[in-house]
Amino acid sequence: MDIDELKQNIVTASHILHQQGIAAAFGHVSARIPGTNTFIFPPRMSPALVRKDNLLILDVDGNQLSGDGRPNTEFWIHARIYQARPDVQSVCHVHPPSCVVLGSLGETIRPLHASGAVFKNDVQVFDPITLIRTRELGDDVAKTLGPHGAMLLRGHGVNVADKDVRRVCIMTLWMEEAANYQLRAMSAGKPRFFSPEELQVIYPQVSGEEVSNRTWVYFSSRLDS
Amino acid sequence: MDIDELKQNIVTASHILHQQGIAAAFGHVSARIPGTNTFIFPPRMSPALVRKDNLLILDVDGNQLSGDGRPNTEFWIHARIYQARPDVQSVCHVHPPSCVVLGSLGETIRPLHASGAVFKNDVQVFDPITLIRTRELGDDVAKTLGPHGAMLLRGHGVNVADKDVRRVCIMTLWMEEAANYQLRAMSAGKPRFFSPEELQVIYPQVSGEEVSNRTWVYFSSRLDS
Amino acid sequence: MDIDELKQNIVTASHILHQQGIAAAFGHVSARIPGTNTFIFPPRMSPALVRKDNLLILDVDGNQLSGDGRPNTEFWIHARIYQARPDVQSVCHVHPPSCVVLGSLGETIRPLHASGAVFKNDVQVFDPITLIRTRELGDDVAKTLGPHGAMLLRGHGVNVADKDVRRVCIMTLWMEEAANYQLRAMSAGKPRFFSPEELQVIYPQVSGEEVSNRTWVYFSSRLDS
Amino acid sequence: MDIDELKQNIVTASHILHQQGIAAAFGHVSARIPGTNTFIFPPRMSPALVRKDNLLILDVDGNQLSGDGRPNTEFWIHARIYQARPDVQSVCHVHPPSCVVLGSLGETIRPLHASGAVFKNDVQVFDPITLIRTRELGDDVAKTLGPHGAMLLRGHGVNVADKDVRRVCIMTLWMEEAANYQLRAMSAGKPRFFSPEELQVIYPQVSGEEVSNRTWVYFSSRLDS
């Protein structure tokens, strides 16, 4: 995948997240330039307004290597996750409504339906109330994420990190869906969350790449309609 | 009704369910080819993307008889319900948000309003947490459905089976409406579900074909608007 | 106001109620032909599909005087309210989601915000679970309505009756808004409903014709946008 | 900023608040004419219908100085806040759904997420149930607002006052978002509201003008799409 294709994926993912109500004026999706400690990152504007020609390039030490705009102030989330996790090729930071509300309850994602099982019981919570505008906070966030693919920042939003932009986009959509279902279930009664044994059955059925790819194809098709 | 008309109904039903928020990237509507043990089935893509010319034909033993695409992995739901229920001419499997949430509470549909009464107290729940990707699981699902027209799969979705595609489509919409109303009522207080005596009065008033046909005409008209 | 203008108002009101999510495949708005015991009534189809040239004329005894279509089966609601209430010039019967849910809780509208105060504590509840398909049930409904402008039918919907089509349309929208707010408040805590003294202050401020006319102008303007 | 630009900002803000579901048939945004005790004010119509050429000019004593239309009846809210608060350059009065519901619970905004922290614990509640149609009530409202930027009117709506139209518009959107999240959290569990110490950290990070300007640019861009 060349840089142009990576940029196109960032633009598509940004527009999908916007169209699906995951992001409005804020939030950012990035991609590592393969094999480097640098990453493509959006400027300080709504994901709805991101285009291939306004994307920036930063490195894991927070240096801006190219692009005219100023980066979003929380670029340290991306920079330090790329530093800590060589396997991660894309990162997303957004403030999805249901995830924010769920986090404010001192809760995290607890799967109760098939798609939600992709998160198992691995979604850690970053508890301090602050934007992530320093290298140190970026390191703290990366430490809370650990070896997993998604985390909540209480009273703030979520970070998702995965093997490519497409999967990061879809995992973010699924995370908001899971949080929304969990909140609705908690409002109406006492949810039966999946047991470890149930997760062991359903996780391999829903976490494969074919499933997320089909979801990406679907949501991409909605951008033109 | 010839094959072409059956295919058109599957396409229309798929697009209605998508437009009404019942299905996004996943879900499938099928129709038995009249008088046979074969059925028309969509390929592995969003119901929004189903067209007459990408539909497949399968039989109740899970053999693919025609079509280039690969079938959705849960075709066994359809195959084994058609096998078990010669009266059934159409089947739908989707994951409607409110039905999924309601199922996660260990609840099933309990009618509290007129349209919901079409389900009486007959909606059974399939409890195991798994996708239905084997013949055996398909048989288990068909057994749980029994002689009824709709069932929940806890933490997963719903199956609807009825006398034709149009009715299956409308029953699915009504099921999600009923689940949504039930959840909202449970969140705000203690719902007065219909008593057996009340169901006996209202059921014949709402379950007739004229009522579901009018609803089909309405939702079809929305696809062009 | 001549017949043509009355018909246009019925069409506009029907389309507004549909556009605002108050009605989908079902529901009907009627208007008395001034100074008579006859009324203009829609045929058996979604309010979205009502046009001036498919409207029918019925009388308070349920006779169809003109029009080719068949009337909605619950025309008796309209017929018997017009019979019982010479002051009423328009009637609406719909199944607004929040009103249906609220009614299922054994609740009625209890004002907690300014617009809701137009209903005071006058919204009576018709408790039997049945469609209104006989003259006798129509009389029962009219009796429950009494001298007021709006009522709930538990597990079914609402009837609104007032001095003209425009006001009936707007009162119906306000009723659903009030029910929605009431449900949301009941889900999140313990609402402070307006006291009789508070209603005495706010009712005259919100119930005037200028207020509902402005609302009609606004919602009409949305049909073309 | 000249008068024409002020008027354009009022129109844009009105249309944004309408598009985002904050206002339907009612509500008004005004702007002080810089250095005077007069202000630009919309006529008695939906914010969706406000245009530069139908705006009025009033003064803090409630006199209409120019424009053909009649002012909204609650102009006293604006007039008396401008009188009491020389620092205020713009005022908005609307009835956002979640704010109305939250107020009906005897609650006020209590921040639980980053954007909500712009309100700190400063949102006062005006308790009397009445429209604000007299100079005296306008003075009472201004007194309840005090030195702050936003207040609730129980069972009625909100007033927002700030340094310019753009910021007033965005603060109003954020207030409804905060009320919505708070209600959802209260419905599902027991929210962890931000402590005074947490507010001290997050408030300066989210309350700056760059943050609200970016939000204005985003929502303005949606009007054309």
Decide if pLDDT at C155 tops 90.
Answer: yes
Calpha distance D9→D24 (Å, rounded): 19
For D5-59, the pLDDT digits (tens) are 999 999 999 999 999 999 999 999 999 999 999 999 999 999 999 999 999 999 9
Task: Determine whether the interchain pair B114/C131 forms a contact, defined as Cβ–Cβ distance below 8 Å.
Answer: yes
Decide if pLDDT at C45 tops 70.
Answer: yes
Question: For D199, phi and psi rounded to 5 degrees?
Answer: -60, -35
Task: Determine whether the interchain pair B113/C183 forms a contact, defined as Cβ–Cβ distance below 8 Å.
Answer: no
pLDDT category of residue C16 using cuts at 50, 70 and 90: very high
Task: Determine whether the interchain pair A184/B101 forms a contact, defined as Cβ–Cβ distance below 8 Å.
Answer: yes
Task: Determine whether the interchain pair D46/C188 forms a contact, defined as Cβ–Cβ distance below 8 Å.
Answer: no
Burial-class residue B19 by CB neighbours within 10 Å (0-12, 13-18, 19+). Answer: middle
Task: Determine whether the interchain pair D219/A95 forms a contact, defined as Cβ–Cβ distance below 8 Å.
Answer: no
Helix (H, G, I), strand (E, B) or coil at D29: strand
Residues of A in contact with B106 (CB under 8 A): 192
Interface A-B, measured as beta-carbon pairs within 8 A, has a size of 84
Give the residue-averaged pLDDT of C168-175. Answer: 98
Give the residue-averaged pLDDT of C2-10. Answer: 96
D134-140, long-range: CB within 8 Å, 24+ apart, which pairs? Answer: D134/D76, D135/D61, D135/D62, D135/D76, D135/D79, D135/D80, D137/D76, D138/D76, D138/D77, D138/D79, D138/D80, D138/D81, D139/D80, D139/D84
pLDDT category of residue A70 using cuts at 50, 70 and 90: very high
Query: Which residue in A112, A181, A205 is closest to B97 by CB distance?
Result: A181
- Give the 3-state DSSP-derived string for C111-164, with helices as H, strands as E and coil as C: CCCCHHHHHCCCCEEECCCCCCCCHHHHHHHHHHHCCCCEEEECCCEEEEEECC
Rg (chain C; Cα; Å): 17
pLDDT of residue A39: 98
pLDDT category of residue B91 using cuts at 50, 70 and 90: very high
The string of DSSP codes covering C40-98 is: EE-BSS-GGG--GGG-EEEETTS-EEE-SSPBPTTHHHHHHHHHH-TT--EEEEE--HH
The answer to whether C214 faces chain D, any CB pair under 8 Å, is yes
Task: Report the neighbours of C using a cutoff of 3 or more CB pairs below 8 angstroms.
Answer: B, D
Residues of C in contact with D125 (CB under 8 A): none
Q: How many CA atoms lie within 13 A of D60 on its CB side?
A: 18
Provide the shortest C-alpha distance from residue C190 to chain D (in Å).
6
**Closest to B155 measured CA to CA, from A150, A182, A170, A20:** A182
The answer to whether D93 faces chain C, any CB pair under 8 Å, is no
Provide the shortest C-alpha distance from residue A209 to chain D (in Å).
33
Decide if pLDDT at A218 tops 70.
Answer: yes
Task: Determine whether the interchain pair B192/C100 forms a contact, defined as Cβ–Cβ distance below 8 Å.
Answer: no
Decide if pLDDT at B71 tops 60.
Answer: yes
Burial-class residue C139 by CB neighbours within 10 Å (0-12, 13-18, 19+). Answer: middle
Task: Determine whether the interchain pair C156/B189 forms a contact, defined as Cβ–Cβ distance below 8 Å.
Answer: no
Query: Which residue in C189, C198, C201 is closest to D105 by CB distance?
Result: C189
Decide if pLDDT at C224 tops 90.
Answer: no
Q: What is the percent of chain A where pLDDT is above 90?
A: 99
Calpha distance D107→D110 (Å, rounded): 8
Decide if pLDDT at D218 tops 80.
Answer: yes
Decide if pLDDT at B225 tops 60.
Answer: no
Residues of A in contact with B155 (CB under 8 A): 112-114, 192, 194, 198, 202
Tell me how far CA of residue D147 lies from CA of C221, D124, D201, D205, D212, in angstroms.
38, 10, 22, 21, 20
Q: What is the DSSP letter of A105?
A: T
Compute the mean pLDDT over every residue in chain D, rounded to the nearest whole number: 97
Sheet with B56-59, strands from edge to edge, namely B64-66, B56-59, B38-41, B28-32, B90-94, B157-162, B150-153, B124-126
Calpha distance C126→A112 (Å, rounded): 38
Give the residue-averaged pLDDT of B108-136. Answer: 98
Decide if pLDDT at A180 tops 60.
Answer: yes
Task: Determine whether the interchain pair C214/D156 forms a contact, defined as Cβ–Cβ distance below 8 Å.
Answer: no
Decide if pLDDT at D130 tops 60.
Answer: yes
Provide the shortest C-alpha distance from residue B6 to chain A (in Å).
24
Per-residue buried b or exposed e for D85-121, using 16+ beta carbons within 10 Å of the residue's own CB:
beebbbbbbbbbbbbbbbbbbebbbbbbbbbbbbbbe
pLDDT category of residue A184 using cuts at 50, 70 and 90: very high
The answer to whether D65 faces chain C, any CB pair under 8 Å, is no
For D156-177, the pLDDT digits (tens) are 999 999 999 999 999 999 999 9
The answer to whether A143 faces chain B, any CB pair under 8 Å, is no
Query: Which residue in A114, A187, A214 is closest to B25 by CB distance?
Result: A214
* N-term to C-term CA, chain D: 26
The answer to whether B189 faces chain A, any CB pair under 8 Å, is no
The answer to whether C202 faces chain D, any CB pair under 8 Å, is yes
For A36-51, the pLDDT digits (tens) are 999 999 999 999 999 9
Calpha distance D123→D121 (Å, rounded): 6
Q: How far is CA B175 from the centre of its chain?
A: 9
Question: Beta-strand (E) ranges in chain D?
Answer: 28-32, 38-41, 56-59, 64-66, 90-94, 124-126, 150-153, 157-162
The answer to whether A181 faces chain B, any CB pair under 8 Å, is yes
Task: Determine whether the interchain pair A188/B101 forms a contact, defined as Cβ–Cβ distance below 8 Å.
Answer: yes
Q: How far is CA A84 from the centre of its chain?
A: 16
Least confident of A154-158, C3-7, C103-107, D1-5: D1-5
pLDDT of residue D143: 98
Task: Report the neighbours of B using a cutoff of 3 or more CB pairs below 8 angstroms.
Answer: A, C
Q: What is the percent of chain D where pLDDT is above 70?
A: 99
Nearest CA in chain D to C114: D156
pLDDT of residue C213: 96
Least confident of A1-5, A124-128, C22-26, D215-219: A1-5
For C102-135, the pLDDT digits (tens) are 999 999 999 999 999 999 999 999 999 999 999 9
The answer to whether A105 faces chain B, any CB pair under 8 Å, is no
pLDDT category of residue C137 using cuts at 50, 70 and 90: very high
For the question of whether the overall pTM of this predicted structure is more than 0.90, the answer is yes
Residues of C in contact with D107 (CB under 8 A): 189
Calpha distance B142→B196 (Å, rounded): 26
Calpha distance B152→B108 (Å, rounded): 7
